[in-house]
Amino acid sequence: MWPKGKILFLVPKGSSGWQGVICLLNALHRNVLIRETGPGESVDLADLLPAVEAGMTDGGATEILYWPGVDEEDPYRQWGLTRGILQTEVSQFLQRYWEEEVILPESIVSKEGEPVLWRILHNAGYEPSLLWEKENGEWEVQIGNGIHWIIPEAWLKEYWQGFTFGRLPYLYFPDSYWSIHGDLVEYYRDEKGYEYLGSIKTYQDGDLEKGIYGVVLQALQLGVPWRNIRRTYEALMEIDHTGPQENIRWYTDEITRAEWAVGT
């Protein structure tokens, strides 16, 4: 059997945030060895060298990923240089991995602790991916078949400020906005308010409500059908939407516009 390689993952002692990347690597079925390192550290070669027994099934460390703050003089990196092992900073790995993806930083979560935008996209059939830190500090990852990745906004700001991951999303309604009228939050195509897109009932939580309305707007801009958005919003926020059925006028193709114009 061909020997299986391992990633040697280097992190500065006492650092944090890297657990999310480990969670992603595990989901990708990569064999990872973690070493906390710093100046003056001795190199622990356990599991780093290729196995000489058991049919050579263990190829040892064949790649090094290092967290920001692990400099070139680090003893593990120096050891890797002597063996010609490929070394990559984690930011470069993420840039390559997410190169064709749409990265959506989020902070608004439901009562169950999951990102609201991820749930909206998931329920609408977009098959989004998720890399998320839960309240207990554990990370979870779900890799879907779609192009959207929901990532903690705070994590991106704290550890990756200045880095650009993925590509920009296409926005169907870049000038759309929301406003509150009574107990309804109404959404319009632009600030002139000529084209009504839909409405939801207000969410009675002063700390979260504006953020949640912004997530709904973001889903609209990404092209999610309004009925899918409202259904998920009401389910997550335990809101009962009663009243007459809305006219949903969010379609943008010219044929649909013509049909609305003649009242068909």
Task: Render pLDDT for 2-54 as a digit per residue (tens, 0 to 9).
Answer: 456 799 999 999 999 999 999 999 999 999 999 999 888 888 888 787 755 54
Range 100-123 average pLDDT: 94
Structural domain harbouring 55: 4-96
Q: Is the pLDDT of residue 208 over 50?
A: yes
Question: Do both 66 and 137 map to the same domain?
Answer: no
Question: Do both 77 and 91 map to the same domain?
Answer: yes
The CA distance from 103 to 165, in Å, is: 7
Tell me the whole-structure pTM to 2 decimals. 0.85
Question: Do both 135 and 211 map to the same domain?
Answer: no
At residue 199, φ and ψ (nearest 5 deg) are -145, 155
| 166 inside domain | no
Question: Do both 70 and 118 map to the same domain?
Answer: no
96, 111, 144: which is the final residue of a domain? 96
Total domains, the chain:
3
| 39 inside domain | yes
| 167 inside domain | no
Question: Mean pLDDT score of the chain, rounded to an integer?
Answer: 86
Among 18, 6, 138, residue whose Cα is nearest residue 66: 18
- What is the per-residue pLDDT across 130-156, written as a single tens digit (0 to 9) for each? 999 999 999 999 999 999 999 999 999
The CA distance from 191 to 173, in Å, is: 11
